[in-house]
Amino acid sequence: MLGRLRHDNIVKFHGTATKKSNHDPSQKTVQAVLELCQSDLGRFLRKVGRGLDEPEIAFLMRQVVSAVNYLHAENITHRLDD
């Protein structure tokens, strides 16, 4: 399901990879293979070093809302983990 998502503001899912666990060689771990992102919102804000003005906030919010609307249209819900 995740592999078919195509939206400019959603990180692309390329598949999964398995490998033996470092802690228990009899166990395997599954890892998600995702698009490489050069940055994220937290790094961007630290780099800017100031608060964002209203047009910048509006631009970012349009991207977030567009991505969440796309997910909802695909019958996928999104949640944030803390």
Q: pLDDT at position 11, please?
A: 92
pTM over 0.85: no
82 pLDDT higher than 80: no
The mean pLDDT value for 49-74 works out to 92
74 pLDDT higher than 90: yes
The Cα 54–Cα 2 span in angstroms is 33
The Cα 54–Cα 79 span in angstroms is 25
pLDDT per position as a tens digit, 16-61: 999 888 888 888 989 999 999 888 888 888 888 888 899 999 999 9
Q: Among positive and negative, which fits the CA dihedral 70, 79, 31, 37?
A: positive
| Alpha helix (H) residue ranges in the chain | 41-48, 54-73
The mean pLDDT value for 78-82 works out to 72
